[in-house]
Structure 1
Amino acid sequence: MTREDKEKYEFVLLPFEVPEGVEAIEVEYSYRAAGSGECEVDIGLFSPGDPSFPADPSVFRGWSGTNKKRFVVGRRYATPGYLPGDITPGTWHILLGLYKIPECGCEYEVRVELLGSERGEEARVPQPAGGGGGARGPGWFKGDLHVHSVHSDGDASVAELARIASGKGLDFVVLTDHNTVSHVAECLSTAGPARVFPGMEVTTYYGHMNLFGVRSWVDFRARSEGDARRVIEEAKRRGYFTSINHPKPDYPWLLGNEDRVDGLEVWQTVWEYFNYLSLRKYVELLERGRDVVAVGGSDAHRVAREEGIPRLGEPTTVVYMERLSEDEFLKSLRLGRVYVTENPSGPRLVYRARGGGAEASLETSRLLPRVESIEVFVEGGAGSVVLLLTPGGVVKLGFVDGDSSVVKASVEHSGDGFYALPLLASAEYPFDDPLSEDAVVRAIANPVLARR
């Protein structure tokens, strides 16, 4: 495999024939640089059907990136990341993703074994507990909207994730494993103590995007803005919430379409990890008149054996829902009934705004014909400063002296297109450069918007 192959194809399909009577398929693969340089080749599997982009979800049987060098797909069992089911006779395809190919090229080997029966140790089907957590409400529910499990490159099972999340004070998490949906059934049938809502992280080589409310696979092989538009449109057609992830260094979003998505991850892992750049991107969208919902997510992979960062629940996305359910979560997310705080015990940041004879709040509607005044309510933010980001610049509302505080402000020049984005920040916040790396944020609320 050469650098030219990557530039031309990026994804390679290797066909193989499966005859009648096969009960399971076992795949092993390996790769290495032909000389020096970094080499990474991802792997997945398609069953009979058209595998070209964008492929129908019916042909998808799994994806594991570089995380698993061996996997099994059988009628009753599949390695996490892959889907069990009938082994249909016909032409199957190994999907190779040419993530990193050095100048010297890459050598690879794929071995496929067709099995007449499922091996005993592989044929045990995990039986998730029934149920799915309580339906209390209405109120504010704490969640982490970006988490991984053993179904991609995380270390926790779905059940472990539910237990550990609850122990940290979270009410729910969204499981967004990379380019797969093998976790969906288990999410839907896992009893708490925390709810686990199914999602999928569309992990391209040009940026990542979360989908919430997922039931079936969406082809992730976008290589251009046009490809990404097709992915977003298909996800929305199925009713999924689309949110661009961590638009900052390491894994920046290079596929455009910011005006077409529903949300933007403004806060991933601890704030100091370049999140000021994500906030800049979000403010740019507000300046263009876009009502994109600001969300946060830890991107935690090491949950069962936590070490370093990211850590589950840091940050925490707090959502106002009539009751704790996936339907209410998606409804409230689309309405922007959301604030993001540093951890499950982090400060609470909500507001009430008035203007044009109407009232808005984070729990109801964030839209007003014009914004004339705003009250911001803070709990647990002692020693912090409350401020608003607006088209006219930053407005300092006041300091939080104790465990709770209410600050008020009158607003001028608040016609159509105006926004007021509440932030709770460290006392050393640089008001002369409010979107700089020195601006340490403790909580963000989705903005009140003036719309005629």
Structure 2
Amino acid sequence: MLKCDLHVHTKYSRDGESSVEDIIRMAEKRGLDVIAITDHDTVGGAKYAQTIKTDIMVIPGVEISTKSGHLIALGITETIPAGLDFYETVDRAREMGAFLILPHPFHQFRHGVGTRLKDAIGAVDAVESFNSRYIIGSANKKAEKKAKKFKKPCVAGSDAHNARFVGYGVTVVDSEKDMQSIFDAISAGRVCIIGKMTPLKSYTGQSLKNTKRKIVRKVRHK
């Protein structure tokens, strides 16, 4: 049984706060077996993580910004352009052999694809039904309900943007410590979810920082 955090960000993300090294060290401290580094629209952090000596298995990935919201592609080390149609992004990721997860699908303020495309769940391999950054659990519950309707397995992710929160969303996978075996086990539903919520104060602070960064970027580009 492997303890996996399948949704983690590093400083390679625009809104990430921790180095790759700090993320990995915290994963070790929390007793995780596997983490997926899924920075926003870049595989730089995931590729760099492959050079660090650790017993933690690091699955490379990326959280892609499609026109309709975010999509996680695991198992790839090439970027896919942001801003494409959701289904075109899915097709490109499939061509690369990616395992696809729909993250926070029903969060209205965090690029949830499920709020815009009713059948998006049918296009992916798994649904993130526990995201530790959901302060109100209703969106997580809706994701679980919709996943069952489409007969898709559910996974968890911390969505950590700071090393402190790595391991707050864990998918326990009945699998060998091998990337394809993990993907196969998730597809077969040999998983269970363990999680706790990111503290409200921390989540709010991160949100305010992100808003400030966006405002600064807009001002610079005027």
* Normalised-by-shorter TM-score class: 0.7 to 0.9
Q: 1:230 to 1:206 in 2, by over 3 A?
A: closer
Number of matched residues?
A: 190
1:281 matches 2:143: yes
The answer (yes or no) to whether the contact 1:187–1:197 under 8 Å persists in 2 is no
For 2:67 and 2:138, the matched residues in 1 are separated by: 23
For 2:139 and 2:47, the matched residues in 1 are separated by: 36
Q: What SS does the corresponding residue of 2:123 show, helix, strand or coil?
A: coil
Alignment of 1:166-205 (within 5 A): 166-204=28-66
1:340 matches 2:193: yes
Q: 1:184 to 1:147 in 2, by over 3 A?
A: closer
Please name the residue that 1:231 is paired with: 89
Q: 1:219 to 1:187 in 2, by over 3 A?
A: same
Please name the residue that 1:221 is paired with: 83
Please name the residue that 1:245 is paired with: 103
Q: Post-superposition shift, 1:176?
A: 0.3
Q: Post-superposition shift, 1:205?
A: 5.8
Q: What SS does the corresponding residue of 2:183 show, helix, strand or coil?
A: helix
Alignment of 1:26-425 (within 5 A): 140-152=1-13, 153-204=15-66, 206-222=68-84, 227-246=85-104, 247-251=106-110, 252-253=112-113, 254-256=115-117, 257-269=120-132, 273-287=135-149, 290-303=150-163, 306=164, 311-322=165-176, 324-342=177-195
Q: Post-superposition shift, 1:242?
A: 1.0
Q: Which segments of structure 1 move beyond 3 Å, counting only runs of 4 or more?
A: none
For 1:156 and 1:195, the matched residues in 2 are separated by: 18
Q: Post-superposition shift, 1:278?
A: 2.9
Which ranges in structure 1 are unaligned for 5 or more consecutive residues?
1-139, 344-452
The answer (yes or no) to whether the contact 2:73–2:101 under 8 Å persists in 1 is yes
Q: CA RMSD in A?
A: 2.0
The answer (yes or no) to whether the contact 2:156–2:169 under 8 Å persists in 1 is yes
Q: Post-superposition shift, 1:335?
A: 2.0
Q: 1:281 to 1:268 in 2, by over 3 A?
A: closer
Q: Post-superposition shift, 1:276?
A: 2.7
Q: Post-superposition shift, 1:250?
A: 2.0
Q: Post-superposition shift, 1:255?
A: 4.4
Give the TM-score of the pair, scaled to structure 1.
0.40
Q: Post-superposition shift, 1:155?
A: 2.4
Q: Which structure's CA Rg is the greater one?
A: 1
For 1:142 and 1:178, the matched residues in 2 are separated by: 23
Which ranges in structure 2 are unaligned for 5 or more consecutive residues?
197-222
User: Residue type of the partner of 1:200?
Assistant: V
Between structures 1 and 2, the one with greater helix share: 2
Q: What SS does the corresponding residue of 1:274 show, helix, strand or coil?
A: coil
For 1:148 and 1:218, the matched residues in 2 are separated by: 17
The answer (yes or no) to whether the contact 1:211–1:242 under 8 Å persists in 2 is yes
Please name the residue that 1:55 is paired with: none
Please name the residue that 2:216 is paired with: none
Q: 1:237 to 1:291 in 2, by over 3 A?
A: farther
For 1:173 and 1:200, the matched residues in 2 are separated by: 12
Please name the residue that 1:415 is paired with: none
For 1:326 and 1:156, the matched residues in 2 are separated by: 24
Q: 1:148 to 1:157 in 2, by over 3 A?
A: same
Q: 1:175 to 1:302 in 2, by over 3 A?
A: same
User: Residue type of the partner of 2:184?
Assistant: K
Q: What SS does the corresponding residue of 1:258 show, helix, strand or coil?
A: helix
Q: Post-superposition shift, 1:171?
A: 1.2
For 2:51 and 2:185, the matched residues in 1 are separated by: 22
User: Residue type of the partner of 1:291?
Assistant: K
Q: Post-superposition shift, 1:149?
A: 0.5
Q: Post-superposition shift, 1:285?
A: 4.1
* 1:127-148 residue CA offsets vs partner (Å, 9 max, x unmatched): xxxxxxxxxxxxx111111110
Please name the residue that 1:5 is paired with: none
* 1:73-115 residue CA offsets vs partner (Å, 9 max, x unmatched): xxxxxxxxxxxxxxxxxxxxxxxxxxxxxxxxxxxxxxxxxxx
Q: Post-superposition shift, 1:337?
A: 1.6
Q: Post-superposition shift, 1:151?
A: 1.1
For 2:195 and 2:45, the matched residues in 1 are separated by: 27
